[in-house]
Amino acid sequence: MDFESLYRKHRGALYQLAVRILGDPDLAADAVQDSFMKAYRSQESFKGDSRPLTWLYRITYNHCLDRLRSRTKGAAGLGDLDPADAEGTRPESAVARDETRRQVHAALSLLSEDDRHLLYLMMEKDLSHRELSLILRCPLPSLRMRVCRARQRLRKELESLLGERS
Amino acid sequence: MSEKCGWVRERLPLHQDGELEKCDAAEVDDHLAGCPGCRGEVLALTQAWTMLEAALPPAPLHEKLYENPFRDQPDPIMPFSWWMPSMLGFAAAGVMLMLYIHPMFKAPPVPAEAERLLPHIVLRGDTGLDLPPVPPSNRPGLRAAPTFNESESGLRVVPVIGEPPDARRKYES
C-alpha cells in the first residue's frame, strides 16, 4: 500500500473530520498524522473489504474519540473554530454567517455526542451509509435509524432556536 | 398528519441521502407529490442541513499536514501470510524443473571407449565413487595396457594388469 499517496489524497478529508470532532486545528493535525502512523504500522489489519479511505476514517475517528476522552477540560468539538478567521478572508456577510454559526453550534450542543459525530461524518459526502456503519461499527439498519434521528433532531433544535429568536 | 405521513417522514432523511430502496423511494415520491405538509418537512430538513454545512465549512489545511510523516519510518515487517509457503513451494518446484530440463545441468555423456574399459579400470584419486570390485586378474586379454585418452575424458585411468596387492584389501574392508 502506497501510504504517501494515500496521505496526500485523504489528509484533507480526515483533517476536516478531526477538526470538527476536536475543535482545535493543532490537535486535529496531530490526530491525522498519528492516525496515519497507526494505519502504517498496522496495515496488515486492513482486509481490503472496504476502501482504504473508510479504514482510515475509522482509525482517525477512534483516535479523535480517544483524544477527546483523554482531554480533561470541558466539552470538545464545538470550539470557536472559524476556518474563515484562519484564512483571513472573512466575507461581507460575516455578521449574518456568524449568527447562523452560533445557532447551528447551539443546536449541535443540544444533540448527543454520538449524533453530533454522526452528522460530522455525514458531512463527508463521499461516504455511503454502509461505509458509515463500518466506521462506527454499527449494523446498517441501526445506523439508518441513527441517521434519521440525528437529522430530525438537528432540524427540531434549529427550528426551536430560530423560533425563539423570531 | 395521517399514518402515511408518519411513515414518510421517518424515511425522509434516508430518501434525501439516496439510501432508500427503489420501491420505498417511489412510494415517498408519490406521497410528497400530494402532501404539502410532508413537502414542508423536506424543506425544513434541507434548510437545517444547509445551515450545518454553512456553519462548518471545510477548514484550510494545517501546515503540519504538508510534512511527510513517513519520511523516517522503517518499512513495516510483513506478517506471515498463507501465500508465503505456497510461494516457496512454487519457487522450489521451478528450480527443480530447471535442473531437470536444462542441458547445462545434465551429466556429460560417458565416452564409448570408457564404457568399454569400465569393468577393467580403477579410478584413482578422491572421486568419492563407490567403485566396483577389481576384476579377476587372470582374465584373458588384459595383459596389454588398453589405450585411453585421458585428456579428452577428464578421467584418470589406471589399467589393472594383474591384481594390485593392496586393492583387494582396500575394497574388502
* Cβ neighbours of B45 in A, within 8 Å: 151-152, 155
Interface contact A76, partner B, CB < 8 A: no
Hey, what's the cell of B92?
522450489
| CB count in 10 Å sphere of residue B118 | 13
Distance from CA of B110 to the nearest CA of A (A): 55
Cα A157 to its chain centre, rounded Å, is 19
Cα A129 to its chain centre, rounded Å, is 15
CB contact (8 A) between residue A25 and residue B59: yes
Nearest to A4 among B54, B60, B70 (CB): B70
pLDDT at A166: 62
ipTM of the complex: 0.80
pTM metric for this prediction: 0.63
CB contact (8 A) between residue B70 and residue A159: no
CA dist., res. B18 & res. A84, Å (int): 31
Interface contact A41, partner B, CB < 8 A: yes
CA dist., res. B5 & res. B35, Å (int): 8
Q: How many residues does chain B have?
A: 173
A63-106 per-position pLDDT tens digit? 999 998 887 554 445 554 554 444 444 555 677 777 888 889 99
The stretches in chain B having pLDDT less than 70 are: 73-81, 105-108, 110, 113-173
DSSP secondary structure letters along A55-70:
HHHHHHHHHHHHHHHH
- Bridge partner list, B122: B158
CA dist., res. B53 & res. A60, Å (int): 21
Q: What percent of chain B has pLDDT over 70?
A: 55
Interface contact B25, partner A, CB < 8 A: no
Nearest to A43 among B12, B52, B76 (CB): B76
Which letter does DSSP use for residue A44 in this model?
Answer: G
pLDDT at A161: 87
Query: What chain B residue is nearest to A125 in terms of C-alpha separation?
Result: B17
In angstroms, the Cα distances linking B52 to A32, A49, A143, B15 are 23, 32, 20, 19
Disruptive mutation site among B11, B20, B56 for chain A (greatest number of A CBs within 10 Å): B56
pLDDT at A76: 47
